[in-house]
């Protein structure tokens, strides 16, 4: 499934509505740390391996497109 993801920094939350995910992370956007935290949180929530969660676009943006197999 493809999701549109909106990232907010310095917050801790995860909201999912249909194909939209709003996620709050504590990591800084330095050397991919924020993306790693997003992948880890989403993999845990959906019960899949982190290797299955793929950022399709928006690697350096707060708006991302992420694919998670169901």
Tens of pLDDT, residue by residue over 1-45, are: 999 999 999 999 999 999 999 999 999 999 999 999 999 999 999
- Total-model pTM: 0.94
Cα separation of the two ends of the chain: 6
Q: Give me the pLDDT at residue 70, please.
A: 82
68 touches 55 (CB < 8 A): no
Q: Give me the pLDDT at residue 59, please.
A: 96
CATH architecture assigned to 2-67? 2-Layer Sandwich (3.30)
Q: Give me the pLDDT at residue 30, please.
A: 93
Q: Give me the pLDDT at residue 42, please.
A: 98
Map out the domains of the chain as residue ranges.
2-67
CA–CA gap between residue 21 and residue 37 (Å, rounded): 14
């Amino acid at each position: 499934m493809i999701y549109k993801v909106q990232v907010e920094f310095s917050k801790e939350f995860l909201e999912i509505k249909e194909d939209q995910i709003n996620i709050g992370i504590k990591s800084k956007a330095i050397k991919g740390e924020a993306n790693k935290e997003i992948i880890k949180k989403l993999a845990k929530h959906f019960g899949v391996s982190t290797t299955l969660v793929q950022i399709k676009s928006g690697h350096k943006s707060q708006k991302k497109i992420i694919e998670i197999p169901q």
